[in-house]
Structure 1
Amino acid sequence: MAAVLEAGPLPDEPTGDAATSGTPSAPATLTPVPSGTGLKPIERLTSDTRYAKIIPDSQQLTALQYSSLFTRTFVRSDFNFCATKISVARGGKLRALDKTLRETSDWFTKALAWVEQHRARNLPWPCETIELEVKRPLTGQLVRCLSQYERLFKRAIETRNEQKLGDERCSAMIANAEKKLKHIVQVCIPDNDQYDADGNRRES
């Protein structure tokens, strides 16, 4: 159902705004555990070496459960890239990321509330579980958005399967949800100096 996300640019080296002090931890080792989702287990996240160089404000592991191909692709290809960019964001870029993540989470909250009004049955879904390293509060907000996407993905399909939601409406809702998450990647890409103090992108 969900489209595969095309990964955004992932530079091999930081562009002047990565942490350079302290002793970075080694990238986490992932243990693939097959399940009934049919999704290939994630063996390694892209940009794990770059993210390992970031010195955390407070470090924790957060478990994310997912059943969709979109979330698997986003986590494997884009999570560490976004988490690294969030960690080194300053000034206007930090404001832009904070606004984008809050607006995305609010959109998911409203979309979920609308879907839940149809009162479709909650069905058991096979899922994968991965532990994600969170070094900044905004990275935790990104994990929350991914969890909200998973909830919306499942509830939209359950509602469609009970014929309480049309195929086109279901597909459009999931596609819009994916666009919201892809937009976060786009906000992460420019360096800090590409944003004004108010969080708006500078004109080139």
Structure 2
Amino acid sequence: MAAVLEQTPEPDPRPAPRVAPQPDPSTAATPVSGLKPIDRLTSDSRLARINPESDAKTVLRYSSQFARNYIRSDYNFCAAKIAVARGGKVRALEAALRETSEWLRKTEKWLLRHQVRPIELPHDLIELTITRPLAGLLVRCLTQYDRVYARATERVLTGKITGDDRAGILNNAERRLKQIVQICMPDNDQYDFDGARREQ
């Protein structure tokens, strides 16, 4: 029969090492907005290979799912393409970005005619690289889109516009921003000097 150790071992006089508390994985990566966190931006390696005109950074605030998806999937691609755009492609991009920005400005102004108490929507922040002024204009359009999203949401919740009105406004805005991606895709030689796309 095995012997049973009856004697209590002496306590170790050395203090126990301190262990930093680990964050709860269920809450650590949960952003304030409730949107899925952006782990990395698509085309970040493409953008890193570009020699930009500037290495400016900006912090973009966003609340909408569309803005989150656009930032993650399309922004770096567009910023890289804008950085190497030449000739007619620059004119095509400039025209599309300015028209989009102006449409969003007018839409927000129209929404603001319906005065309501502002509602603070949950939001996230992300740092983006500005390769050229046109990339900065794209960031401005995304900021304007998110303001239109917030204004339209406020006015639906207070009964100033209908859900269909809101959907129409956002669909139109999203279509315009997606068009920027389509303009970025073709190479420079597929645009005429005036910015018109050459027929294939």
Smaller-chain TM-score bracket: 0.7 to 0.9
Q: Which runs of 4+ in 1 moved over 4 A?
A: none
Equivalences, count: 173
Match of 1:202 in 2: 198
Query: Is 1:77 the counterpart of 2:40 in the alignment?
Result: no
Amino acid aligned to 2:169: M
Query: Is 1:105 the counterpart of 2:112 in the alignment?
Result: no
Mapped partners of 2:91, 2:30: distance in 1: 39
Q: Answer yes or no: is the 8 Å Cα contact 1:37–1:67 preserved in 2.
A: yes
**Which of these residues, 51, 54, 66, is aligned with residue 62 of structure 2?**
66
Q: Deviations over 1:139-196 (max 9, x none)?
A: 0000000000000001001011110101111110011111010010011111001000
Match of 1:92 in 2: 88
| Runs of 5+ unmatched residues, structure 2 | 1-27
Amino acid aligned to 2:132: R
Mapped partners of 1:187, 1:135: distance in 2: 17
Match of 1:190 in 2: 186
Mapped partners of 1:74, 1:142: distance in 2: 11
Amino acid aligned to 2:176: K
Give the root-mean-square deviation of aligned CA atoms.
1.1
**Which of these residues, 160, 178, 189, is aligned with residue 156 of structure 2?**
160
What percent of counterpart residues are identical? Answer: 53
Pairwise mapping of residues 42-57 of structure 1 onto structure 2 (< 5 A)?
42-57=38-53
Of 143-152 and 121-130, deviating more is: 121-130
Query: Is 1:125 the counterpart of 2:125 in the alignment?
Result: no
Shift of 1:33: 5.3
Amino acid aligned to 1:73: N
Match of 1:38 in 2: 34
Mapped partners of 2:117, 2:149: distance in 1: 14
Shift of 1:35: 2.4
TM-score by length of 1: 0.83
1:113 counterpart SS class: helix
Match of 1:134 in 2: 130
Amino acid aligned to 1:164: K
Amino acid aligned to 1:107: W
Amino acid aligned to 1:70: F
